[in-house]
């Protein structure tokens, strides 16, 4: 006799994950034989560099890598992360207390709130935001307060409003930003760190797109700011930098207590990163800088091609500062983000992400990823010419 089984209340209250829903719509269209151009999920179309693949192959053959991994990762990996971080941001990190490797930053961001958030703690979340932040905070029992990101403020949080708030436990930020493709200034980070120290709240910085930037304007790490290690933890990823989205490897770094809280949660939930992938991660971090330079050149070329193409058909879209997304107000004649996204798929076989999928403040916008070739971008522009 079967019993009645129901989802937990927390799961019932969780909406479908945005990109799973989008992928489902894409697959349904493709099953009908339609030629779909996917500008939806931000998954690079380039393959992982060969030297990283070769490092994995060699590591897989070594039986020493077949056992449970150390929770804190190989010391050699943490050392290489510290070297990379010093070279990139001129910030020193202690490999034993200020660095913790992750099975991709998404899981780290999901686990951290369980280690530092108590039920009803007030957590500030920028809106729009990467959809994965919200459920992790809610599962930990945190009370989310949305902080709108507005174009007239460069899509940066209004610190004056935050200053007036009481009992803030944590703020989540993400620059270069997904979905708005903007970056944070040194002045903003300096003021934010000072405010966090005064009001005693934690800053969680997601910097997954740190190496995807344009026109030579390198994004800052919040850890470059004096005093940031007192209040902040930052998440980094190899996914976008080295075309390794499926490999699932990244790290958290910064405040030792926050790193320790994350480590304690993870030690109870997983057994670390497959060691062969850690070896491949070391090879990635040692890569010739030309690899990331070529990656930026590729995306900047696509950015300019898409932005100029859309402007050429009358849609005035801004050029992103970083990340590989174009974040634009919906075209004239459309009333909502969802209507726009649906019309693009139904009438032009183009997958684009509705802005309201990133939060209420994303309504009226749509996000397009630069993860297809210039030929496909050109085809997308021509299809949109007919729709618009």
Check: CB of residue 356 under 8 Å from CB of residue 330.
Answer: no
- What sign results for the dihedral spanned by CA atoms 85, 86, 89, 92? positive
Cα–Cα distance for residue pair 273/373, rounded to 1 Å: 32
187 burial (CB, 10 Å; 0-12 / 13-18 / 19+) is exposed
Residue found under tokens 């994965």: 132
Cα–Cα distance for residue pair 375/55, rounded to 1 Å: 33
pLDDT, tens digit, 9 for 90 and up, residues 13-62: 877 777 677 778 778 888 888 999 999 988 999 999 999 999 999 999 99
pLDDT of residue 30: 81
Q: Which residues are CB-contacts of 187 (< 8 A; sequence separation ≥ 6)?
A: none
pLDDT, tens digit, 9 for 90 and up, residues 80-105: 999 999 999 999 999 999 999 999 99
Domains and CATH numbers, the chain: 9-47+290-387 (3.90.1150.10), 67-285 (3.40.640.10)
pLDDT of residue 382: 97
Check: CB of residue 343 under 8 Å from CB of residue 337.
Answer: no
DSSP per-residue letters across 227-254: TGGGTEEEEEESTTTTT-TTT--EEEEE
Beta bridge partners of 100: 252
CA distances to 21, 116, 152, 380 from 369, rounded to whole Å, are: 16, 33, 23, 12
Cα–Cα distance for residue pair 8/125, rounded to 1 Å: 24
pLDDT of residue 378: 97
pLDDT of residue 27: 83
Q: Which residues of the chain have pLDDT under 50?
A: none
Q: Which H, E and C letters describe 193-209, residue by residue?
A: HHHHHHHCCEEEEECCC
pLDDT of residue 260: 98
pLDDT, tens digit, 9 for 90 and up, residues 53-83: 999 999 999 999 999 998 899 999 999 999 9
pLDDT of residue 234: 99
DSSP state of 173: E
């Amino acid at each position: 006799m079967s019993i009645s089984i129901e989802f937990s209340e927390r799961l019932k209250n969780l909406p479908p994950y945005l990109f799973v829903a989008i992928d489902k719509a894409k697959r349904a269209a493709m099953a009908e034989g339609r030629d779909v151009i996917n500008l939806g999920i931000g998954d690079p179309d380039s393959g992982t560099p060969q030297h990283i693949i070769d490092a994995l192959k060699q590591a897989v053959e070594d039986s020493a890598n077949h056992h449970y991994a150390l929770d804190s990762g190989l010391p050699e990996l943490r050392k290489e992360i510290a070297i990379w971080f010093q070279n990139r941001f001129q910030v020193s990190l202690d490999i034993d207390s200020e660095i913790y490797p992750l099975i991709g930053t998404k899981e780290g961001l999901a686990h951290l709130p369980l280690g530092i958030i108590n039920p009803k703690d007030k957590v500030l979340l920028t809106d729009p935001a990467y959809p994965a932040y919200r459920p992790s905070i809610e599962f930990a029992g945190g009370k989310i307060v949305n902080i709108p990101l507005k174009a007239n403020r460069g899509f940066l949080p209004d610190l004056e409003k935050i200053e007036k708030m009481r009992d803030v436990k944590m703020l989540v930020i993400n620059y270069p930003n997904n979905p708005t493709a903007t970056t944070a200034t040194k002045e903003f980070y300096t003021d934010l760190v000072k405010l966090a120290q005064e009001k005693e709240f934690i800053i969680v910085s997601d910097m997954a797109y740190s190496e995807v930037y344009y026109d030579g304007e390198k994004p800052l790490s919040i850890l470059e700011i004096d005093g940031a290690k007192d209040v902040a933890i930052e998440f980094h990823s190899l996914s976008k930098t080295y075309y390794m989205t499926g490999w699932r490897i990244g790290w958290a770094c910064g405040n030792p207590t926050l790193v320790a809280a994350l480590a304690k949660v993870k030690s109870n939930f997983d057994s670390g990163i497959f060691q062969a992938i850690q070896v491949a991660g070391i090879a990635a971090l040692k890569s010739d800088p030309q690899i990331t330079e070529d990656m930026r050149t590729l995306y900047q070329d696509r950015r300019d091609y898409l932005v100029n193409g859309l402007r050429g058909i009358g849609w005035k879209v801004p050029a992103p500062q970083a990340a590989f997304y174009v974040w634009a107000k919906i075209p004239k004649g459309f009333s909502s983000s969802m209507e726009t996204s649906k019309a693009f798929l139904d009438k032009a076989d183009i997958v684009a992400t509705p802005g309201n999928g990133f939060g209420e403040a994303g309504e009226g916008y749509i996000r397009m990823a630069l993860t297809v070739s210039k030929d496909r971008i050109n085809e997308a522009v021509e299809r949109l010419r007919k729709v618009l």
